[in-house]
Structure 1
Amino acid sequence: MSDFTSLALELDRETQRRLNRLAEARQLSPHLMMNEAIAQYLEREEKSEVFRQETLDSWNEYQATGLHVTGEEVIAWLETWGEENELPAPECHK
């Protein structure tokens, strides 16, 4: 049993021409190139969606608790990274 399914995709003529030209230059099938392009797009967008959701979760937590760390506190901490007297990570506060 195959894990593949068919999907019809309509491309405008210019996009089709560009796809065929690049596939020929790379000695790949247009089908393989489309599969790879879709896989890369999904990977990128899934990561973006996770980041977006984490951002919303963080904002909602801040709205509920008021706990935060200022940019200045983070910068002061980061500036000590790798030094002998490295500071601990700043604590969240109101």
Structure 2
Amino acid sequence: MATSIKLDDHLKTRIHHLAERQRRSAHWIMREAIRDYVDREEKRENFKQEALGSWAIYQKTGRHLSGDEVRGWLQTWGTDKETEIPPCHK
């Protein structure tokens, strides 16, 4: 699928200079930039959807862990006394 993008002259110049310095084509630079942006935004959207789902479950059940409980659990990671995640409660 062919797609065209209109870029202002300043951005075009910056892309071409970067491409020259990295010995890449301007097309490669733009493709990588778009791929990185899409990857980042997909992750952001997945995180948001997961958070909204967790919030909906909390609103329905009231079950949760406090920040102190989570911090205490995380502090055991990588130690000889690593623990399982504490159970949620109301």
Question: Normalising by structure 1, what TM-score?
Answer: 0.85
Q: How many residues align?
A: 89
* Number of the residue aligned with 2:80: 83
- Could you say what the CA RMSD is over the residues aligned between the two structures, in angstroms? 1.4
Matches within 5 A, 1:51-62: 51-62=47-58
**Cα distance in 2 between the residues matched to 1:75 and 1:26:** 43
Shift of 1:88: 3.4
* Number of the residue aligned with 1:69: 65
Q: Secondary structure at the match of 2:63?
A: coil
**Cα distance in 2 between the residues matched to 1:79 and 1:22:** 43
User: Unmatched 5+ residue regions in structure 1?
Assistant: none
**Cα distance in 2 between the residues matched to 1:79 and 1:28:** 44
Q: Secondary structure at the match of 2:80?
A: coil
Runs of 4+ in 1 over 4 A off after TM superposition: none
**Cα distance in 1 between the residues matched to 2:83 and 2:28:** 50
Would you say 1:28 and 2:18 are equivalent positions?
A: no
User: Unmatched 5+ residue regions in structure 2?
Assistant: none
One-letter code of the match for 1:46?
E
Q: Looking at CA atoms only, which structure, 1 or 2, has the larger radius of gyration?
A: 1
**Cα distance in 2 between the residues matched to 1:80 and 1:27:** 46
